[in-house]
């Protein structure tokens, strides 16, 4: 939904007024499974990407907090650790995101994930999978910095003793995802344009070939949609991120608690 709603010059058949109307229209006209197209490639990359992401975050957070605040909770350490962890995460997830978004566009010519990978590789080269990588980082570094700082701040407020508390992890994760998602929507709109390379939109502002670079994307979005163009799909983005970050944090905190408890039991 987010990819479709961020389209800057959509096909008349793919114009939606809201999230509910978009979902209803896609399911009725294109089938029940259409909104989930390309999800398999995302799931394939998500496992190793998130493993590196949380491992890097935990290690860096602890090391930096020891330096900056003598073992206390440092928001600066949380932000830096989250930003560095993003570099590893996005290196794995960026190609998966390109494939997923291309398959989710209206009238997508790709029949399967492999067909999409082969066609993009053949027609645009390997670099096409990383064309939006710097933009992804430009978006995700502030997103993750805001996300981790907000999560740790929320934990300080509702779970100050840092015990394993599923409800506090879910609430903190959801709030952190919503705040970070809303704040970085303009960057996400630019990323979607770079990933999908909408021909109709680009040709309407006399851009031939492939659009590249964050600055060019920002200028093009403004020319096509003005200031409001930067916030296209903000509702869908927040709705998507809230359960996503809530689930990620609750699963992470559960395994952290389970493994720590198991380790202590083994010692005793």
Residue 31 pLDDT more than 80?
no
Q: How confident is residue 159, by pLDDT bands cut at 50, 70 and 90? A: very high
Tokens of 52: 């590196």
pLDDT in tens, 70-88: 767 788 999 999 999 998 8
Gap between the Cα atoms of 100 and 162, Å rounded: 37
Residue 172 pLDDT more than 90?
yes
Residue 37 pLDDT more than 60?
no
Which is nearest to 113 in space by CA: 99, 125, 127?
Answer: 99
Share above pLDDT 70 across residues of the chain, in percent, rounded to a whole number: 78
Gap between the Cα atoms of 235 and 233, Å rounded: 5
- Counting Cα atoms < 13 Å in the Cβ hemisphere of 225 gives 22
pLDDT in tens, 94-136: 888 888 877 776 666 677 778 888 888 888 888 888 877 887 7
Residue 214 pLDDT more than 70?
yes
Residue identified by tokens 């070939």 is 209
Instruction: Please answer whether residues 185 and 230 qualify as being in contact, where contact means their C-beta atoms are separated by less than 8 angstroms.
Output: yes
Instruction: Please answer whether residues 25 and 13 qualify as being in contact, where contact means their C-beta atoms are separated by less than 8 angstroms.
Output: no
Instruction: Please answer whether residues 99 and 108 qualify as being in contact, where contact means their C-beta atoms are separated by less than 8 angstroms.
Output: no
What pLDDT score does 39 carry? 61
Instruction: Please answer whether residues 27 and 16 qualify as being in contact, where contact means their C-beta atoms are separated by less than 8 angstroms.
Output: no
Largest Cα–Cα separation, the chain = 70
Higher per-residue confidence, 226 vs 197: 226
pTM of this prediction exceeds 0.75: no
């Amino acid at each position: 939904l987010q990819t479709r709603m961020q389209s800057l010059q959509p096909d008349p058949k793919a114009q939606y007024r809201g999230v509910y109307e978009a979902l209803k229209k896609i399911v009725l006209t294109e089938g029940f499974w259409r909104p989930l197209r390309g999800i398999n490639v995302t799931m394939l990359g998500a496992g190793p990407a998130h493993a590196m992401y949380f491992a890097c975050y935990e290690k860096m957070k602890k090391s930096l907090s020891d330096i900056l605040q003598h073992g206390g909770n440092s928001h600066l350490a949380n932000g830096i650790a989250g930003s560095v962890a993003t570099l590893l995460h996005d290196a794995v997830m960026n190609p998966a995101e390109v494939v997923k978004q291309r398959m989710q566009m209206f009238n997508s010519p790709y029949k399967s994930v492999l067909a999409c990978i082969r066609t993009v590789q053949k027609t645009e080269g390997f670099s096409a999978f990383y064309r939006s990588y710097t933009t992804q980082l430009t978006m995700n570094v502030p997103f993750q910095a805001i996300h981790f700082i907000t999560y740790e701040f929320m934990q300080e407020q509702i779970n100050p003793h840092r015990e394993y508390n599923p409800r506090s992890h879910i609430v903190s994760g959801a709030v952190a995802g919503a705040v970070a998602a809303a704040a970085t929507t303009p960057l996400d709109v630019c990323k979607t344009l770079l990933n999908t390379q909408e021909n109709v939109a680009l040709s309407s502002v006399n851009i031939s070939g492939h659009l590249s670079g964050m600055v060019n994307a920002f200028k093009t979005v403004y020319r096509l949609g003005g200031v409001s163009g930067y916030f296209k799909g903000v509702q869908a983005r927040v709705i998507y991120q809230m359960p996503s970050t809530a689930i990620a944090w609750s699963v992470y905190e559960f395994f952290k608690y389970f493994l720590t408890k198991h380790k202590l039991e083994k010692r005793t």
